[in-house]
Amino acid sequence: MLLAGGFALFAGLSRAQPERPLRPTDGIAVLTGGPQRVEAGLRLLQEGEGRWLIISGVGRDAPLDQLMRHAGLDPQATEIETRITVGRQATSTRGNGAEVAEWVQARQIASLRVVTAAFHMPRALLELRRTLPGVELVPHPVQASGARPGLLMREYGKLVGAMLGLSALKPEKPPS
């Protein structure tokens, strides 16, 4: 009964929208793995909603200029590329937490906007809170139309596992 109630709450969160109006944060962290995330993070940085941006978990074959072009930005016509870090170490949500934490500490960031899919946000925030105590995390969910039921069930299982500390038992894969 408790798991079913938790899943119902989680399913409602999978349709979350970003806060309005947006309040600027020191940094923006995009956790890769799905559509719209990188584009949203780049747009937020360009609009001045954060000073710094990390795109965590990027594959080795995706250069920044390609990511920017895919988001509809001309890398030559903007100065934001100097404020972007492309993180290539993370291969899991727990790995995102470690990669983002190192980046946050190096820049002394006190507030961080987290960009990921709405259904992934609860687990992302859980892992980031573990590595970033004292940093204000502001969720910025994308894909607010909701995820397929099977995907929601898998993500809910991962969230429950992470809440129980099981994500720490899975070794981080080396980046590919």
Buried b (16+ CB within 10 A) or exposed e, 72-96: ebeeeeeeebeebbbbbebbbbbbb
Which amino acid is it at 167?
A: S
- What residue spans define the domains of the chain? 2-163
Domain 2-163 has CATH 3.40.50.11810: no
Q: What are phi and psi of 175, to 5 degrees?
A: -60, 145
Q: How far is CA 44 from CA 6, 38, 55, 94, in A?
A: 31, 10, 12, 24
- Please list the pLDDT of the chain residue by residue as tens digits (176 residues): 666 656 666 566 666 677 778 899 999 999 987 778 999 999 999 999 999 999 999 988 888 888 888 888 877 777 888 899 999 999 999 999 999 999 999 999 999 999 999 889 998 999 999 999 999 999 999 975 656 777 777 877 888 888 887 766 565 555 55
